[in-house]
Amino acid sequence: MDNEILRLEGLSKHFPGVKALDNISFDLIEGEIHALIGENGAGKSTLIKVLTGAYQKTDGKIFYRGTEVKNLSPTKSKNLGISAIYQELTLFPELTVSQNIFMGNERVYNKSNLVNDKEMTDEVRKIFKKIKLNISPDTLIKNLSIAQQQMIEIARAISLDADILIMDEPTSSISNKETEILFEIIEDLKNQGVTIIYISHRLEEIFEIANRVTVLRNGKNIKTLEINEIKDKDQLVNLMVGKEVTDLFPKKEVEIGETILEVKNLSYQDKFKNISFNLKKGEILGVGGLVGSQRTEVMETLFGLRKFDDGEIILKGNSVKISNAQNAIDFGLGLISEDRKATGIIKTMSVKENITLPGLDLIDRKFNVLIDNKAEEIATKSLVERLQVKTPSLKQKIDKLSGGNQQKAIIARWILLAPEILIMDEPTRGIDVGAKSEIYELMGELAKKGISIIMISSENPELLAMSDRIMVMREGEISGFLEGEKQTEENILKLAFGGVVN
């Protein structure tokens, strides 16, 4: 068992002004599943990039099976059998599944330049059989769900016969059921002798599959622990943040008011039907369900981004027609989308410009046309301070901030508009523990001010802690509401998987 495959000694990676990795020592034993955890910015991604050759180390040594590896380049790393699955998908949407899996590694008719499609599709079928994936190799990637795409990434890594497989948050966008399948695959790979570095913000998963855990904080290796040395999640959380987090979910008690939104029998084609629910002033309505349960689609419909065939939306007693986002905003709605990068931030714009984009009408103008810079700065500055968005300046391009700070800036965008209803789709996805806690606190404050929140979430602890009521959806229908003592993880799962809660 003690067959060391990779060892890092005193590894450092410096960027101008930042020590992204600071004297990291770390070893990997063949056939283990080694979890790597830490807050965003702790150095996990940098470490992976050094291992895959994308970054060159500043200092330190890397040993592969006892021999030192110098000048680790992407090609060299690939040849050593190191392969990574990144959090962000790197697939080609217009190509087929099998073309994607063999991208850069195409099978050809004996040394010619002609690709052997048949051999590749056969191979893909074999891999899919192994990982129980039921997708035709000829399907175009763009027609697959995000979760399915994630599985394709994994299949691609498997096709490369990797010895060391690095998985960066592989479950962040897939459902619980798919996660189970993924864990089975990981277990299989482990039994075949593949070594896995597993990165996740979901600590439950780590207890389920990892052999050892390494905690990084501020670019330093804080501790490597055997899984049976760890008492509970709190111990890991404390190692990560370096301070006691006693109250991860600080839910405030809020008085809940009148019903302000009623949705009646909303239906659209075969996507969703008979969606009826209501929302009260100051209430946080959690929305649970598996990926593909059409939760996001329903809420996007409410926000005017999608059409519907049938049903009614009643705001404060009046039936309203919301046909685009501007309408929705005018009616006092806000929406924070689940995919921050694709539909949240505008990365070419500054923090300030990102915050004020939907609320430009609220900023003073000179001669009624010219945006008053001062007024804009005052408005954003107070929000940035209140929400503790960590940015060197308001003029900083937003994509230079960490995920948590980007998310806080996006929330600031909507707070500026003083909405009555805020839809938050996976508000803490890909965000570190500290920032998460801040976002929860903020949600509590908003609710206290009388803002109603609809929170879609795939993280059950989050749903349970934050929601006054939980609505669970399954395959385009509402499978039930949970309130008070009925709010348990078990009940959410029952409803999500088609069970009944008594």
Partner 1 sequence: MNQLENKISFQDRIKSFFGEKGSAALGLIILFVFMTFMSDRFLTFSNLLNVARQASINGIIAVGMTYIIITKGIDLSAGALVALTGTVAAGLIVNMGLPIIVAIILTLVVGSLVGAFTGVMVSKQNIPPFIVTLALMTILRGLSFVYTSGRPIYVSNELFRVIGRGYIGPIPIPVIIAIFIGVIGHIVLKKTKFGRHIYSVGGNEEAARLCGVNIDKTLIYVYTSAGFLTAISGIILASRLSTGSPNAGDGAELDAIAAVILGGTSFAGGIGSVSGTFIGVAIIGILGNGLNLLNVSSYNQMMVKGLVILLAVLVNNIKLKKKNISR
Interface residues with partner 1 (CB under 8 A) are 15-16, 303, 305, 324-326, 328-329, 335, 337, 342-349, 353, 356-358, 360-361, 369-371, 392-393, 395-396, 413
Provide the angle, in degrees to the nearest 10, between the axes of the packed helices 146-159 and 176-191.
10
Shortest distance in whole angstroms from residue 239 CB to partner 1: 28
In angstroms and rounded to an integer, the radius of gyration of the C-alpha atoms of the chain is 24
Shortest distance, position 293 Cβ to partner 1, whole Å: 21
CB of 227 to partner 1, least distance (A): 35
| Burial tier of 326 (Cβ tally within 10 Å: 0-12, 13-18, 19+) | exposed
Query: Cβ closer to partner 1: 99 or 354?
Result: 354
CB within 8 Å of 438: residues ≥ 6 apart = 387, 388, 404, 408
Shortest approach of partner 1 to residue 208 CB, angstroms? 35
CB of 111 to partner 1, least distance (A): 34
Which residue type, as a one-letter code, is found at position 459?
E
**What's the closest the beta carbon of residue 162 comes to partner 1, in angstroms?**
26
Q: For the stretch 437-456, what's the b/e string if a residue is b when 16 or more beta carbons lie within 10 angstroms of its beta carbon?
A: bbbbbbbbbbbeeebbbbbb
* Range list of H helices, 343-502: 351-356, 373-386, 403-415, 433-448, 460-466, 489-496
Residue 46 or 159 with smaller CB distance to partner 1: 46
Nearer to partner 1, 143 or 388 (CB): 388
In the numeric block, the tokens 């908003």 are attached to 446
* Cβ distance to partner 1 smaller for residue 148 or 356: 356
Which pair of structure tokens corresponds to residue 391? Answer: 């940015």
If the CB atoms of residues 252 and 400 are measured against partner 1, the closer one turns out to be: 400
Closer by beta carbon to partner 1, 108 or else 371: 371
Nearest to partner 1 of 108, 357 (CB atom):
357
What residue type is assigned to position 366 of the chain? K
Supply the minimum distance, in Å, between the C-beta of residue 130 and partner 1. 36
Least distance in angstroms from the C-beta of 393 to partner 1: 4
∠ CA 345-347-350, rounded to 5°: 95
297 and 307 Cβ atoms separated by less than 8 Å: no
Phi-psi region of 400 (alpha: psi -120 to 50; beta: other; left: phi over 0): alpha
Euclidean distance between CA atoms 56 and 73, whole angstroms: 8
Q: How many angstroms separate the Cα of 437 from the Cα of each of 33, 71, 282, 415?
A: 28, 40, 19, 18
Our CB check for partner 1 shows the closer of 265 and 326 to be 326
